[in-house]
Amino acid sequence: MKIFINKIERVIFFCIIFLALASSSFAEIQEFKYFSVDVPEYWTAQEKDNEVRITANDKTGELVIIASEPEEKTIAEIASEFSAKFGSSELVSDDEGTFTFEFSDGEGQATITGDENFYMVIMASGFEKNGDTLGEILNSLEMK
C-alpha cells in the first residue's frame, strides 16, 4: 500500500508542477484608452498618446496599435502616409476600405481601417518566432 501512495503522491506532485508552469504563460488583460488586450507574460505594453506598443522582452516581436480621430483626413490618406513612412512598396485596399501593406522586407505587416470619425492602425513584426503569440494578442483585442 505504501508504494501505491508514493506513486499517487508523485503523480500529484508532477501535475501541480505542470499546472504551475502552464499557468505562468497566461496573459494579463490591460486596459488602454480605446481598447483592452491580453499582454502575455514576457511581453511589455506601453501607451503613449494614441499609440500602444506591445513588445516581446527579448525584442523578437512587436505589435503597435494606433487609434485616433482622423483629423479631416481620409483613411486612404492616413494609410498612404503610414505606408510611405515605413517604406512599403505596395498599399493594398479591399472593398470595405481597409488598407494593408508589408514593411521591413516583408517581416512586418500593417492594417489601417476606420471611417471619418475614428481609425486604427495595427502593425506587427516578428512573425517567424512569435506568429502564434501575435495572433493571440490580436484575437484578445476588445474595443471599449
Does the global pTM surpass 0.85? no
Q: Between 9 and 34, whose confidence is greater?
A: 34
Which CATH number belongs to the domain containing residue 70 in this structure? 3.40.1000.10
Is residue 38 in a domain? yes
Is residue 8 in a domain? no
Query: Three cell numbers at 26?
Result: 497566461
pLDDT at 26: 53
pLDDT at 95: 86
Question: Does the structure show a pLDDT above 80 at 76?
Answer: yes
CA dist 82 and 29 (Å) reads 28
CA dist 119 and 80 (Å) reads 13
Is residue 82 in a domain? yes
Q: List the domain range (segments joined by +) for residue 57.
A: 27-143
Question: Does the structure show a pLDDT above 80 at 71?
Answer: yes
pLDDT at 23: 41
Is residue 1 in a domain? no
Angle CA(142)–CA(136)–CA(42) in degrees, nearest 5? Answer: 105
58-69 residue pLDDT tens: 999 999 999 999
Is residue 9 in a domain? no
Is residue 20 in a domain? no
pLDDT at 20: 44
Burial class (CB in 10 A: 0-12, 13-18, 19+), 126: buried
Number of domains in the chain: 1
pLDDT above 90 covers a percentage of the chain that reads 55
Is residue 33 in a domain? yes
